[in-house]
Amino acid sequence: MKLKDKVALVTGAGSGIGKAIATLFAKEGAKVVVADIDPEKGQETADMIKQSGWDARYVQSDVSREADCEKMIQFTQAKFGKLDILCNNAGIAMVICPVENVSEELWDHIMAVNLKSVFLTCKIAIPIMKEQGGGIVINVSSVSGIRPRSGLCAYSASKSAVTTLTKALAIEAATHNIRINSISPVATDTPMLEDMMTDEMKENVEVTKQFVLATIPIGKFAQPEDIAKAALFLASEDASMVTGIDLPVDGGRSI
């Protein structure tokens, strides 16, 4: 098992990519704290992991709030005594629209959930990891931060900033045996894919999906498990010399 005796905190783990990451980490021996704003989905993930014979706890958290970020990290320490791996996966999408239709409130909300949350959790977790003698941070970004699509200005900007913040923090933390990397998934087969569609696009979802697929050289959507495997690599000793990178899991989309 690649993560035996490790303690991992995964945000946005109630569904999709976060759920897949939390499940794989637990399967590989980690004790996992499932953090999610939705108590029903978050508890469901934790229960599913426990029913498989692995160890997990759920904590409700709105990662855009510093108090909630502190709470979930303190919860992790209280339950398991340490924090080895922080996976910042929580994020939100936006419906495709031109910049003139993006309100200040929408912009701020996307930045708060997708970007500020990474700053807040790292601000709290990195000192803990320094004291422990090391740790690992994995931030889930997006290929939209590398090659933006039209109509997703706020989302793309937030994810590009996550990737740059990852690199900046990796430089700061490297001498403390803390590795910090990001993952940039392509369009992934989760409910968030349809969350980005306009009402017109939703009238013919399959046509819209085929249009998106045509931009992915490998010709298929990513699955949550694809991203989880990349996260496992970055969390494991297999990546002991890897820090400050962004790992595209994108079927060639960013080429």
Rounded to an integer, the average pLDDT of 96-107 is 96
User: In the block, which residue shows the tokens 């704290």?
Assistant: 33
Beta bridge partners of 85: 8, 136
Rounded to an integer, the average pLDDT of 194-219 is 86
Alpha carbons 212 and 219: distance in angstroms, whole number: 9
Each residue's pLDDT tens digit, 126-176: 999 999 999 999 999 999 999 999 999 999 999 999 999 999 999 999 999
Going by pLDDT thresholds of 50, 70 and 90, the confidence category of residue 11 is very high
pTM above the 0.85 mark? yes
User: In the block, which residue shows the tokens 């990195």?
Assistant: 126
Longest CA span, the chain: 53
Number of neighbouring beta carbons within 10 Å of residue 108: 13
Please tell me the predicted confidence (pLDDT) of residue 206.
Answer: 86
Residue 52 exposure: Cα atoms within 13 Å on the Cβ side:
19
Beta bridge partners of 185: 249
Alpha carbons 172 and 177: distance in angstroms, whole number: 10
**Options 25, 75, 155, 221, the catalytic residue:** 155
Rounded to an integer, the average pLDDT of 114-125 is 99
Going by pLDDT thresholds of 50, 70 and 90, the confidence category of residue 196 is confident
pLDDT at 194 exceeding the cut of 90: no
Give the start-to-end residue ranges of the domains of the chain. 7-249
pLDDT at 199 exceeding the cut of 90: no
Going by pLDDT thresholds of 50, 70 and 90, the confidence category of residue 195 is confident
- Active-site residue, 155 included: yes
By three-state DSSP, how is residue 102 classified?
coil
Rounded to an integer, the average pLDDT of 179-184 is 99
Give 6's contacts (C-beta < 8 A, 6+ positions apart).
25, 29, 30, 31, 84, 85, 235
Distances (CA, A) of 114 to 90, 131, 215: 7, 27, 24
Residue 236 CB-density burial (10 A; 0-12 exposed, 13-18 middle, 19+ buried): middle
**Per-chain mean pLDDT for the chain:** 96
Alpha carbons 195 and 170: distance in angstroms, whole number: 32
Please tell me the predicted confidence (pLDDT) of residue 203.
Answer: 83
pLDDT at 225 exceeding the cut of 90: yes
Please tell me the predicted confidence (pLDDT) of residue 211.
Answer: 84
Please tell me the predicted confidence (pLDDT) of residue 222.
Answer: 95
Rounded to an integer, the average pLDDT of 93-105 is 95
Based on DSSP, count helices (H) and strands (E) in the chain, helices before strands: 10, 7
Each residue's pLDDT tens digit, 20-43: 999 999 999 999 999 999 999 999
Rounded to an integer, the average pLDDT of 208-220 is 91
The encoded tokens of residue 168 equal: 């900046």
Going by pLDDT thresholds of 50, 70 and 90, the confidence category of residue 205 is confident
CATH classification for the domain delimited by 7-249, as one of 3.40.50.720, 3.90.1300.10, 3.40.50.300, 3.40.50.1820: 3.40.50.720
